[in-house]
Amino acid sequence: MNKYLILANNDKDIDLELSKKTLEYINSRGAKAAIVSDVINDYDGTFIKEEFMDDAKAVIVIGGDGTMLRAAAGIGSYNVPLLGVNLGTVGFLTEVEVSNLYDAIDRLMAKDYQLEKRMMIEGSFNDKCFAALNDVVITRAGFSRIIGLNIYVNNELLDTYEADGVIVATPTGSTGYNLSAGGPIISPKSKAIVVTPISPHSLTSKSIVFDSEDEIKIEIVKKRKTQETEAIVSFDGGNNTGLSAGDIINVKKSSKEIELVKLYDLNFYRVLRDKIGG
């Protein structure tokens, strides 16, 4: 029997109303489903249990792009594709709208879809390592001061930023915080890494796009004698960790990829125009 995991953001799906309807519909079609909710603050994937993932055909994510990011982190080593149902706003990662949910489930169960692979990056520091589908972000830890950041590429010093922080993004993440900070949009099928400074205190500090095989190293430079925690690093908006002067974050392409279920022939550039074209 086919089995599906429904991953719900219970802040957006009030009383899990849509998730329950989805479960009932899947069951009525002769398959099996389980709901996991209350994952809005879980960036470590502890909501994913082995019994849920065993033989699962797909994870149906009901929420927004943020919920999709947590699902991507949560499925870990499980090779299970994600189908996003949009209850958020922009929804670059969530292809399905509520209005065509049942049609999408029918196509999912009939295997009438394609899979689109998205690259991930991973950041390691102080014996910790986290993967990210969107971005690794380093920002200042307090108000009204900048941080110093030495940026190395393949162990070669590229530049020193004095800025509010820096974003290291995937092509998928290029339409997120990276775009808001003035970074370029990159096709999600590309293999690349983009580094974008946040509010740099220099007219010459710009975004740079690197090959996906390049390794980025970011060193925190001390700016205040009395300040111990200079910055905070986060991965897809979670796993926030304080950093001190001298700390180094190594970012590179992850060996893990995420597969997204693509049901409809939606061109990325059309979606881009519709979502943020103005």
Highest mean pLDDT among 90-104, 129-143, 185-199, 223-237: 185-199
pLDDT above 90 as % of the chain: 50
**pLDDT at site 105:** 95
Tokens of 200: 């740099």
Residue 49 has pLDDT above 70, yes or no: no
Q: What are phi and psi of 77, to 5 degrees?
A: -85, 0
Identified catalytic residue from 65, 164, 236, 247: 65
* Domains annotated on the chain, with CATH: 3-113+263-276 (3.40.50.10330), 121-255 (2.60.200.30)
| Distance in angstroms (rounded) separating the CA atoms of residues 102 and 115 | 19
Max mean pLDDT range (50-54, 63-67, 264-268): 63-67
Radius of gyration of the chain (CA): 20
Q: Residue 38: which pLDDT band, with cuts at 50, 70 and 90?
A: low
Q: Enter the pTM of the model.
A: 0.88
- Clarify whether 38 is annotated catalytic: no
Among 24, 14, 17, 243, CA closest to 4: 24
First to last CA, the chain: 45
The token duo for 118 is: 């998205």
Spatial separation of the C-alpha atoms in residues 77 and 94, rounded to whole Å: 21
Mean model confidence pLDDT for the chain = 86
Mean pLDDT of 235-249: 89
Residue type at position 9: N
Average pLDDT, stretch 9-36?
90
Distance CA 43, CA 129 (A): 13
DSSP E strands in the chain: the ranges are: 3-8, 32-36, 56-63, 82-86, 114-125, 128-132, 135-140, 147-153, 156-163, 165-169, 192-198, 208-211, 216-221, 229-235, 238-244, 248-262
Query: Tens digits of per-residue pLDDT, 163-222?
Result: 999 999 999 999 989 999 999 999 988 999 999 999 888 877 889 999 999 999 999 987
Q: Which two tokens stand for residue 256?
A: 């893990």
Kindly indicate the confidence band of residue 50, based on its pLDDT and cuts at 50, 70 and 90.
low
Q: Residue 264: phi, psi to the nearest 5?
A: -120, 155
